[in-house]
Amino acid sequence: MATNDNAPAHDLGSLRIHEGQRKGGKVGKVLAIFFGVLIILASAAAGVYGLLASKPVVEVAVATKAVGPGGREALLNATGYVTPRRRATIAAKITGRVTGVFFDEGTHVRQGQLLSTLDDADSKRALQSAQAERDSAKAAIADYEVQLKNARIVLYRTGELQKAGVQPQEQLDNARTSVESLQAKINLAKAQATAAEARIGEAQQAVDNCTIRAPFDGIVVSKDAQVGEMVSPNSAGGGFTRTGIATIVDMNSNEIEVDVNEAYITRVKPGQQVTSILDAYPEWEIPSRVRTIIPSADRQKATVKVRISFLKLDPRILPDMGIKVTFLADERSKKDVAATPAILIPQNAIRDDAGKKVVYLIKENKAERRAVTVGGNRGTDTEVVAGIGVGDTVVINGPPTLQDGDSVQIKK
């Protein structure tokens, strides 16, 4: 292989690193390390600042005086729901296809008002068949009665001729048999007509079952079926068959249902006055009264159900609304009320610190530890005898590490 003698020779000396270049590389490395350390320190400082600047989020409540309207002591607080005594899901007595729906949600209905209709073609045919059987039996009765009338005339003549010796006894017997036979046929036809009347009543009931009417005055709160759907009194057909047409509520039967801890049920009695506040209208105090205490306890929840009646109903009171109630004591004088100024706060505001009961107040967005003396429980609240005042803001839900003087953020 021929070589090119004119090609430049490789100068290995050009690859040598001079001393100045070595010093410049070391300076670059030092600068890189220095700036890296600065970045790490800045990140750490930002993290520490973020931790120091973050404030714990707390939920608060206001301490209230355990006295209701009119200077009455609040014996117990409870929560529950508005429930109507008369609520019905209207269903059909038979299985059928819906052909008409004559209501909508919010419709006011009267007792007996037509709500819906089902396909009644088969029922009407059965009714017509029963009516035809009745008409046929009545026509047969009319024919047999005409024949019977003639047979009795023949029987009379035959009897007279037999007495005169003109007709033999056999003719008289045949005439009597004819009369009795026609009478039996008339009785049979009448029985068939009665049976047909019974079938007519049954068929008419089947036709009537194809119309669904309101059982009482109320408001439709749920529309459960549409035209063309199948409905049935039971769940036959799975999810393709409706078991209800509509749900109607008698708004005049609205009342309150609450669960009271069985340990405090002695504080509740029938006829006791109650102050009720709907969650939807927190500024509206509704006068109420205990209607009844259900004589049975729930062993799992250890509660007793209490039903409370509104003294005056209002269109704003709707079924299934959340409501808070306060059971009031009997009327007392202002002197007695002032002598026992009990204060109520939620039970979860009380903390146990080395055997002492403490709460954390919020003063200028800072937590302030305060020792308290507690009394008895009143439903979900606790009575505080000393340590705080009415209107103080207490922490009911916050971090367990909350300390005196910590800056906090109140959850809205």
Tell which residue, 86, 90, 109, has the closest CA to residue 251: 86
Q: Supply 122's token pair.
A: 């088969």
Both 236 and 92 in a single domain? yes
pLDDT of residue 294 exceeding 60, the answer is yes
The pLDDT tens digits for 73-126 are: 778 888 999 999 999 999 888 888 999 999 999 899 999 999 999 999 998 999
Q: Which amino acid would we find at residue 241?
A: T
Contact 128, 288 (CB under 8 A): no
**What range does the domain containing 402 cover?**
57-66+339-410
The pLDDT tens digits for 130-141 are: 999 999 989 989
Question: Which of 296, 330, 364 marks a domain boundary?
Answer: 330
Question: Which of 312, 330, 348 marks a domain boundary?
Answer: 330
The CATH number for 346's domain is 2.40.420.20
Q: Is 396 domain-assigned?
A: yes
Q: Is 36 domain-assigned?
A: no
With cut-offs at 50, 70 and 90, classify the pLDDT of residue 31.
low
With cut-offs at 50, 70 and 90, classify the pLDDT of residue 291.
very high
Give the β-pairing of 67-68 and 72-84.
antiparallel
d(CA 79, CA 85): 18
Q: Supply 103's token pair.
A: 């209501």
Could you tell me the pTM of the whole model? 0.56
With cut-offs at 50, 70 and 90, classify the pLDDT of residue 1.
very low
Q: What percent of the chain has pLDDT over 90?
A: 35
The CATH number for 103's domain is 2.40.50.100
Q: How many domains would you assign to the chain?
A: 4
Q: Which amino acid would we find at residue 228?
A: G
Residue 308 CB-density burial (10 A; 0-12 exposed, 13-18 middle, 19+ buried): buried
Both 104 and 239 in a single domain? yes
Tell which residue, 65, 61, 81, 66, has the closest CA to residue 328: 66
Q: How far is CA 387 from each of CA 53, 338, 358, rounded to the nearest angstrom? A: 31, 17, 9
Q: Supply 313's token pair.
A: 């109903």
Both 93 and 81 in a single domain? no
